[in-house]
């Protein structure tokens, strides 16, 4: 296990899982430029390190992230990393899977960070909201267009136009949240999900994520035509041979990531 820490973000690697914890509890984990920079660096590490398979993003002390630190905003700071966007994430999510483990509030930019993740585990008391219109702002860190993709149009528009939050149960009903768990256990549940992902062939996981996301706007005909760019290297890999051998020999596969 390796752990690195700043006053605002904790980063821990263990068993192929990178856990990134926003650590500003007195400010409800509101995002700052310093925190966003550490998150961006952690996500680069995730994609570059072959020993890492998946990451979990969470917040400390029962809150995910209350969005942008408005006091810092008044002073002219923007928690935006060039090339990565708000929170060091929303404009360039990692190629490897990223799971949001949400306790308490995920508001504004915090919810937009959730929307940039691939999977979401939430405590039963979690709340998701885009209150920007209440502050004279707009959800321009992806919320305006990602919320209607992740939720039914009417639900997303109600969130965007009223600024009112929805519950974890409501979010799960509409497919935004994968699992709702007991409060205080979201990180553990996210790690269980991460372990299930990390047990699989890394090339296959990465290609599956990339194709699933890129093909959202393609027709079926376009998807079948273009998918070979993503899937041919997977089928030609040493891991594909190993997967078949492990199945035949009834043993756990030994992935090499090539």
| Residues 209-235 pLDDT 10s | 999 999 999 999 999 999 999 999 999
Question: Is 12 marked active-site?
Answer: no
Q: Is 64 exposed, middle or buried (0-12, 13-18, 19+ CB in 10 A)?
A: buried
Q: Which of 77, 132, 164, 225 is labelled catalytic? A: 132
> 20 forms bridges with which residues in the sheet?
11, 57
Residue 193 has pLDDT above 80, yes or no: yes
| Per-residue confidence (pLDDT) for residue 1, from 0 to 100 | 73
Q: Is the per-residue pLDDT at 5 higher than 60?
A: no
Give, as one character, the DSSP assignment of residue 118. Answer: S
Q: Which of 12, 41, 91, 112 is catalytic?
A: 112
Computed over every residue of the chain, the mean pLDDT equals 96
132 classed as catalytic: yes
pLDDT beyond 90 at 195: yes
- Give the pLDDT score at 7: 83
């Amino acid at each position: 296990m390796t752990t690195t820490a700043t006053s605002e973000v904790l980063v821990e690697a263990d068993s192929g899982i990178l856990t990134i914890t926003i650590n500003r509890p007195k400010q409800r984990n509101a995002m700052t430029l310093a925190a966003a920079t550490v998150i961006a660096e952690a996500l680069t590490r995730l994609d570059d390190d072959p020993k890492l398979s998946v990451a979990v993003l969470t917040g400390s002390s029962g809150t995910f992230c209350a969005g942008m630190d408005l006091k810092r905003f008044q002073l002219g700071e923007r928690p935006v990393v060039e090339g990565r966007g708000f929170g060091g994430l929303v404009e360039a999510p990692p190629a490897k899977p990223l799971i949001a483990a949400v306790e308490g509030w995920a508001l504004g930019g915090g919810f937009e960070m959730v929307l940039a993740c691939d999977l979401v585990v939430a405590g039963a008391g979690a709340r998701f909201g885009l209150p920007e219109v209440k502050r004279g702002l707009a959800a321009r860190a992806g919320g305006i267009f990602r919320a209607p993709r992740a939720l039914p149009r009417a639900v997303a528009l109600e969130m965007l136009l009223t600024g009112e939050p929805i519950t974890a149960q409501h979010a799960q009903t509409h497919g935004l949240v994968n699992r709702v768990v007991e409060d205080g256990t979201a990180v553990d549940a996210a790690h269980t999900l991460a372990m299930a992902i990390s047990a699989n062939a890394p090339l296959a996981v990465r290609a599956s994520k990339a194709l699933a996301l890129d093909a959202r706007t393609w027709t079926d005909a376009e998807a079948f035509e273009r998918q070979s760019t993503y899937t041919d290297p997977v089928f030609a890999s040493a891991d594909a041979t190993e997967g078949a051998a492990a199945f035949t020999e009834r043993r756990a596969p030994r992935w090499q990531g090539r």
